[in-house]
Amino acid sequence: MSDTNTFVATPEAKGKAKKFRTFAIIAWVVAMAAQAFAILKLISDDKLVLLIVAIVGILVTAIIGSTFWKKSNKLDPTSEKNPTRFFLQNQLGAIMGVMCLLPMVIMIFTSNTISGKTKAIAGSAAAVAMTAAGVSGVEFDAASIEKYTAEIKKQNKEAESFGINSGLVFWSKAGNKYHAFDDCQYIKGKSLSKGSIKESWEQKGISELCKVCKKKAEKAASVPKTSDVKELMEAEN
């Protein structure tokens, strides 16, 4: 029997993730092409200034690619059940960041056609840029289906402990929190979506309950119901 809390990316999220991955690949292709040009033309011609410009341009483009890639993984994460795929999908930004500059670093330091000055300055700049591109692409908080599922269960449990119906919450288009009450001051009068906590996560990536709604629910849960008070009074009499 499948777990109804298991995270499943929506078709919209998958479509957006696909676009982000396409943008990332395009950025990396551009960075690799610029690197090839620098290796074949700028290094051999000992063009220090142009080499520095190329290195900066490649670094920026590689980081843009990594940023899009990491965003796509947040929208459409993979499973931890396949460790190899999980690692490659989440750390591809770091791998590509390094590869966009590593061949250039090697070629600069091993070239016999450029001056010592160019080798020292351009080589150091390329090495620093390669490190920056690699680090910026590292996913330190890797998303996964299992992680999202665990968070959804945690949110459901917390909401239910406050007497909140985890199957019916509200959220706005621009909001980053879900709400237990549709008359909450932060969403009152706005166009709202409604559904389960799981759906709010899948559709908007929302993983936090509004603090105002939380306090209201806690207060309501702490006040005895009229029927409970009546039963208690009858029992005492």
The most confident of 70-74, 204-208, 225-229, by mean pLDDT: 70-74
CA distances from 14 to 20, 30, 37, 119, 128 (A): 10, 24, 35, 45, 35
**Which tokens go with 123?**
């080589």
Provide the pLDDT for residue 227.
Answer: 46
Residue pair 147/153 in contact (Cβ under 8 Å)? The answer is no
pLDDT digits 0-9 by tens, 83-114:
999 999 999 999 999 999 999 999 999 988 88
Q: What is the pTM of this model?
A: 0.78
pLDDT of residue 78 exceeding 70, the answer is yes
Q: Is the pLDDT of residue 168 over 80?
A: yes
Smallest CA-to-CA distance from 69 within 98, 99, 91, 102 is with 91
**Residue ranges per domain, the chain?**
11-137, 146-223
Residue 228: the pLDDT is: 46
Which residues are bridge partners to 209 per DSSP?
178
Condensed to tens digits (0 to 9), the pLDDT of residues 32-64 reads 999 999 998 888 777 899 999 999 999 999 999
Strands 192-195 and 169-172, how do they pair?
antiparallel
